[in-house]
Structure 1
Amino acid sequence: MFQEPDYRENLSLMLSEVLHDIGVNERMVMGRRRGLMLIETMTNISNRSTDINLTHFFLGSQSEGTTTIGLDSDVDILVCNHDFNIIQDWSEWEHGKLNYLMIQDENTTPGYCFLQRLRDDEPLPVTVILDEHCITDRRGRILYKNTVINDYLEGDQQHRQHGPSIVEQGQPGFSDRDMVIALPCKSWPQSASGWSERQGIGRWPTQEMRRYAASTGCLVVPTRSKVSEYPELEWRISTSLTERCIMYNLNITQIRCYVLLKMILKSFLNPQDEINISSFMCKTVLLHCIENTESQIWKDNNLYTCVTYCLLELHSCVQNDCCSHFIIPENNLMAGQFTAETKHELSKNICDFIQNDRQRLLSIDIDDVGHRLQVKLNRVPHGINYFPSSMSSLEIYERVLTLGYVNIAIHISRHHQLTLRHLHNKNIRTKKQYVCNLMTFSDNGNRLEHSAFKLLAPFLFTTYGSILASSSIGENNRVSPQALECLSAGLNSDISSSRLKLASVFYSTGDMEKAELILRHTEQQYYSNPVLTICGCHRQPPAVTEEFMRAYNEQSEDCIKHITAFCVRFIQREINCVPHELQYEMFRSTQDDMIHRRRIKDCWMDWAVVDSLPLLYFLQYKIYRHLQRHQDKQQALCKLIRTINTGENLGHRETALNILGQCMEQEKRPQQALKCYMLSLQQRPRNNAANFHICKLLSGLLVSQ
């Protein structure tokens, strides 16, 4: 350990500067939190507006802002199913709900419980097993098994199970997503009642935080204790929402201490890349240390001492095989975690780090912390660039903030897809009610809900307007004033998709001049600034260029409307607004193809979906052909070909090739058309309208001969 007080203070300040430079600063922390809270809000608005009885909570390091690029933390999502009602007292029973009584007795591990199935028509226990997810215990109680999570994974090849989590693999540049199924309990857990009265040295957590905790109740998640004698029956009592509130109230020094602890843990403490000490244990140790010290200790010039204090406390926990949960202290997070050999190695690693902290700190590779610290401490010879591959603090800020915007945009696209799935088979009255439901968030929501509404609503207005337009076009080949009003309200969803829908509506009614004017303006917008193509139908991330990052890092999330081009989606109730050549996409799947579709994620295959730029040039081609502007028509066709050949971010290249093939047929170039369809099948062998186009083309050629 460093012995000189002045050196400790200097080192603390240097460490704080390094952590500031790699993104652990107030601005970045708030930016990360804002981004994921906005995504959480959008998700829950979509759920509530479509009567999906789930609430999503984004938790963990990403939502707390307690991570860095190098730590590459997962996104933890807790999915709360409100069809269930977990009760601790019979007075909490609700008619019509899936009621379960939380049981904590001599057979359950502290912090865990059994769930006893209750009747939904009166507050009495169920006496017979209702399905395979229940089992009768020795006392005759019908208990709910935690293996229910397996149902969510059945037949799903893109997810894997990790403890209670369903893990979705992240694409390059984006984090993995750990989704945990949770059941709600409205009351604060009885096993945590002592926490509400506990008062630390620094009078922390505050009374406001404790009141918030009492109002949120708790959750139960399907996982058992390591030492459980009933592995299929135990459910963990979760206070995750309270823990998030506590983390949101930490100061920047406490956040930096936690980030540094995680770096030390990942670099030095866990032996042989095994996860024995978890980041949650480090967080718990940190919270206990904060509770048991005066608040003035937690300042940047004391960061090193704070980290050392936490490491000593962690060492004590390992030595005693006990790390008490911060809110439910009877729950020992280390129970059954370590063998004697592992415990000895962990203890040795912590001691080695504390005794050789100078050398260890200077050798942290994550985010080049060690190298950066050496530069701050003047350990690098003057003029030598010791870390040429490292990003500057500005570049880190640009990257994190811009990828945050991109992540928001991807979620907008995914929520729009889920909304269309909900509306696909609904009648006009139901769709109108959905619009009214969404409008409540504009009138009555909080600030985050207002922001989320502004991002989501234009897509809905455009779709609703297009459905109304399709209906009126089918009746009298005109667009009703109500449809135009809705289409106009949605024009600013992004730079292209809603405008292209409006152009398609005018094209369908034969108003070529208006459609051409919209297309010309959209094309100008597309090339006036760097634009990112967004498609949430697939899990591939968009290619974010350095130019794009530099252009938009100082914006707010409102800039998403001006920097993104979403794919254009038409559901079947919009068919009269869809060019004939695109309508084939709505009927792409044979009965055999349907077997190879995912029920929810591939719902877009029943619609006509195309990327913005190919649709823009296709519509230009059709309009100029109709107007007999042959030179403009050929230019549009060339642009369509170039976009398909060179576009890096096309999510629906097979559809673009299909409409290009039909253009080639209209140009009397059947060989080129067939080539387009064959290339399309290479992109997507199944669930592809190219199969129909090939049959139609070959049939026509045979007839003509």
Structure 2
Amino acid sequence: MQIPEHFTELSIRMSEALDDSGADKKTVMERRRTFLLREHIEQITCQLRGMDFECFHFGSQSEGTTTPGLQSDIDALASYNQFNIMTVWEDWKASMVNLLMLRDDTIPPQQYLLQVIENDTPEPVTSLTHGMFVRKDSGQVLLSAERWKQYLEYEARDLGEATKNGPSVSFTPNWDIVNAWHVLKPLPEIQHWIDRCRGKPWPSVQLLEAARVAPCFLVPVGHPESDYKREEWRLSPNLIERMLMFSFNMTQIKCYILFKLIKKTLFAKIVGESITSFHCKTIMFYTIERTPPSLWFEHNLMFLLLLCLHVLRRWLRLGRLPHYIVEGMNLFDGKLSKSPQKRLLVYIDSLIRNNLQDVFYIDIDNIGCRLQACSMRHIVQAGELRGVCLRNSIRLLLKFECWERLSSKLVQVQHHQRSSHTTFEQDLKYVIYKFYDNSKNVILRSAAIECIKHFYGLQISMQASYFLRLRNVLDSENIRRVQYSNFDVASSRLKFASMLYCGGHLRAAARVLEDVERMYRSKVKTVCGCRIAQGDRDLRVFANMFSGNTDNGFSEPQFTFCVKLLRQESYCTPFILLFEMNRNISEEEVAQRSLDRKQWMDTAEVDARPFLHYLQYLTYGGLGERGNQLYALRFSESYIGDERNRIHMYHVETSLNLLGHCYEMEGNYEGALYYYTHSLRIYDTNNAANWHVRRVLGFISD
């Protein structure tokens, strides 16, 4: 096929436009690293909560094959270890839930039925002893995929209304969450694909060998045209597909992203959302397999896209798009019927004839505008982030969302440990040991270390609280250990300052607080595992966190967690925050709490910056430095009152309560009441301000 003369220049410009949209190599690799880290954090923290399953992130986010404009969802899969999937009767295991994979000529390719087998003897279950079981016409008892999803929805009903999409049952916006079973035994479908690919430049021999031992998954979704679509489970080789995606070079990644941009912008006008990212991915697999590796370079990008469109056109003419790995599966079934296939074929014919001129009309990420500009690197639209600024913003957003997920998971782990029958400190030692035990590779080790830092800091704080409860003086050893528990800009240091203040070390506390205040001279983003602030994921928020136009990363940490103080840390906690640990005034308020709020509302959660100024007010007051004390009060009032700072504040009601307490200590009860009632306007229940108002009104009446 002849390469059009202008394609080389257009390819370079398109590659630069994709770089400017966040599809450069560094950002792609950062996405992959971040989501693998998140995957391991999910894995470790779920195990610590007694959940016996493995966690995976699949899809565009974990592959790094997305841009902000594509607005890709997060795909997660949980695979349960207590279920044994049998391919033959010899696979049966005692004391496990055994499920035998069944299929015959009436079952579509890639689909299976799961027969339920007894856990104490290798014999079929004959009774419908569970609501998820159904009986086939032949009498076999099956585990129904549809009823499994209904069971998941019912069990998690406290989380709200579920969103169901194919095999996914999700309670989190913009997430697809699939609960599945893994198949560890070799499967003929996978071996057939490996045999078909042998001797080709791609996939490589090493990749095929890894694919041979990789587990597949059975996900709960049937074939749309099957008689057993409610009972069927689909075989999904997600790990193999991830290996294939991770083997892509940057030109292949950009070609795939560009293909998805065309799908979402141009194809959508013809067939809506009938063509999916998985269709594009499958076309990419076939194109790479059949194209010489010497062609996959940046200057050929548009020609390579043209080859992908030729492959798609061929499958549209045949009326079928075969699954790349599992033979016999038509990916158009249930997605793209004959009539829209014909409409899309007509459009692709036109697109190929005009040498891809329609790419100038891609509006996502302003790709078309950038291509049309004579000097595209100088075009800047109002409010648009571009180039290095956009890439740095994306990386900061990735880090923010990773630490936010870590914080959320740690809240769940701590709640689980506090609810156990053993002492919390014993559980903490066990948790730290388990994290260390999970450090088997670089990314796992990174995930484990991040978790260990948090729990080690909590253990130190709890021990210090125990010392102070016994009226012991914090010695140098207690204080020295704290330096190993710093995990962010402010929150860990603020807990240390609180510990020093409560222990009577006011001058040392002041020095720590001065150190934290210096940290805040650069832009710092707060991370909360309990609440979400509207707009806190806007890339412009992260663009404001760095200065200069270099791409050399950041020399200072850029994030702080909210300060969390448990009841076991009470003697390291300023008195007023003890009310936050008992913020309800009636049992009815506790009943009103959602499931996630029940996990943290018996702790004191406070934003780091307001807590800094509150501790300064207390500490400088104790030192008799009245000028510094009043400065801290004025700065706190200014910070909390500025609406622009609300995007960094997740516990505004608690911050207002601290400010009200400062006025209370000033003897200004009217000012204190003003801030306490302001706090109650934000949350009128489950708010410690209810206690404070009663107390202050009592002072006034006395």
Q: Do they superpose with TM above 0.5? A: yes
CA distance in 1, matches of 2:11, 2:625: 71
How far off is 1:339 after superposition?
3.3
Amino acid in structure 2 at the alignment position of 1:682: R
8 A contact 1:472–1:480 mirrored in 2: no
Q: Does 1:345 align with 2:340?
A: no
Query: Are 1:437 and 2:445 an aligned pair?
Result: no
Query: In the TM superposition, what is the alpha-carbon distance from 1:386 to its structure 2 partner?
Result: 8.6
1:503 aligns with 2:497: yes
How far apart are residue 200 of structure 1 and its match?
6.1
Distance 1:483 1:43, change over 3 A: farther
Residues 450-477 of structure 1: CA deviation (Å, up to 9, x unaligned)? 3323433221111111122222322334
Equivalent positions of 1:193-232 (< 5 A) are 193-199=191-197, 202-232=200-230
Matched, 1:134 2:133: yes
CA distance in 2, matches of 1:66, 1:117: 39
Please say if 1:399 is aligned against 2:393: yes
Name the structure 2 match of 1:628: 624
Quick one: distance in 1 between partners of 2:161 and 2:547? 34
Contact 2:390/2:543 (8 A) holds in 1? no
Do the aligned partners of residues 539 and 93 (structure 1) sit closer, same or farther apart at CA in structure 2, a change above 3 Å counting?
Answer: farther
Q: Which amino acid aligns with 2:347?
A: N
Q: Indicate the residue corresponding to 1:154 in structure 2.
A: 157
Q: Return the match for 1:531 from 506, 524, 538.
A: 524
Whole-angstrom CA distance in 2 between matches of 1:253 and 1:104: 40
Aligned partner letter, 1:684: Y
CA contact (8 A) 2:435 2:449 kept: no
Q: Is 2:170–2:177's contact at 8 Å kept on the other side of the alignment? A: yes
- Equivalents in 2 of 1:439, 1:638: separation in Å? 45
The answer as to whether partners of 1:13 and 1:301 remain within 8 angstroms in 2 is yes
What is aligned with 1:465?
A: 460
What is the rounded CA distance, in whole Å, between the counterparts of 1:553 and 1:470 in structure 2? 45
How many aligned residue pairs are there? Answer: 687
Distance 1:237 1:258 in 2: 24
Residue 579 of structure 1 aligns with an amino acid whose one-letter code is: P
Local SS of the residue matching 1:595:
helix
CA deviation after TM superposition for structure 1 residue 480, in Å: 6.9
2:303 to 281, 285, 305: 305
* 1:92-241 matches, cutoff 5 A: 92-147=91-146, 148-150=148-150, 151-152=152-153, 154-157=157-160, 159-167=162-170, 176-199=174-197, 202-241=200-239
- Higher mean displacement: 247-256 or 628-637: 628-637
Q: Is the 8 A contact 2:83 2:181 kept in 1?
A: yes
The equivalences for 1:545-624 within 5 A come to: 545-550=542-547, 554=551, 562-589=557-584, 590-600=586-596, 602-624=598-620
Deviation at 1:595, TM superposition (A): 2.7
1:4 and 1:698 map into 2 onto residues whose CA distance is 82
Match of 1:173 in 2: none
Q: Structure 2: any 5+ residue segments left out of the alignment?
A: none
With over 3 angstroms needed to count, the CA separation of the structure-2 counterparts of 1:389 and 1:576, relative to structure 1, is closer
1:201, 1:293 within 8 Å by CA — same for their partners in 2? no
CA shift, 1:194, in A, is 0.2
Deviates more, 1:495-504 or 1:338-347: 338-347
CA separation in 1, counterparts of 2:544 and 2:532? 23
| Alpha-carbon distance change, 214 to 679 in structure 1, aligned in 2, over 3 angstroms | same
In 2: Cα distance, 1:570 partner to 1:489 partner: 18
Shift of 1:55: 2.3
More moved, 388-397 vs 69-78: 388-397
Task: Give the whole-Å Cα distance in 2 for the aligned partners of 1:439 and 1:486.
Answer: 18
Do the aligned partners of residues 508 and 390 (structure 1) sit closer, same or farther apart at CA in structure 2, a change above 3 Å counting? closer
Q: Is the 8 A contact 2:397 2:537 kept in 1?
A: no
CA RMSD for the aligned pairs?
A: 2.7
What is the alpha-carbon distance in structure 1 between the residues aligned to residue 593 and residue 381 of structure 2? 47
Partner of residue 661, structure 1: 660
- Rounded to whole Å, the distance in 2 between the matches of 1:268 and 1:690 is 54
Tell me if structure 2 keeps the 8 A contact 1:362–1:369. Answer: yes
Aligned 1:354-393 pairs, distance under 5 A:
354-375=352-373, 385=379, 391-393=385-387
Residue-by-residue CA offset, 1:627-665 (whole Å, 9 max, x unaligned): 333333222222222222123211111111122222322
Q: Is the 8 A contact 1:264 1:364 kept in 2?
A: yes
**Residue 556 to residue 421, structure 1, CA distance change in 2 (3 Å):** farther
The separation in 2 between residues aligned to 1:533 and 1:194, in whole angstroms, is 51
Q: Distance in 2 between matches of 1:262 and 1:33?
A: 18
How far apart in 2 are the matches of 1:601 and 1:116? 39
Post-superposition offset of 1:334: 1.3
Aligned residue type for 1:131: H
- Could you say what secondary structure the match of 2:595 adopts? coil
In the TM superposition, residue 413 of structure 1 has moved relative to its aligned partner by 2.0
d(CA) in 2 for partners of 1:434, 1:419: 9
Aligned counterpart for 1:329 among listed residues 327, 330, 335: 327
Deviation string 1:266-297 (CA, Å, 9 cap, x unpaired) is 12223466211111011111101222232223
- Pick closer, same or farther for the CA change 1:9–1:518 going to 2, 3 Å: closer
Alignment match, 1:685:
684
Question: Using the alignment, how far apart are the partners of 2:104 and 2:481 within structure 1?
Answer: 58
Distance 1:640 1:115, change over 3 A: same
> Deviations for 1:40-80, whole angstroms, at most 9, x for unmatched residues?
22222323344432322111112112122222222211222
Structure 1 CA distance for aligned equivalents of residues 550 and 657 of structure 2: 37
**Residue 220 of structure 1: SS of its match in structure 2?**
strand
Residue identity in the other structure for 1:656: S
- Relative distance call for 1:609 and 1:617 in structure 2 (3 A) is same
Q: Structure 1 residues 641, 452: closer, same or farther in 2, change over 3 A?
A: same
The 8 Å contact of residues 201 and 294 in structure 1, kept in 2 or not, is answered as no
Change (3 A) 1:542 1:339: closer
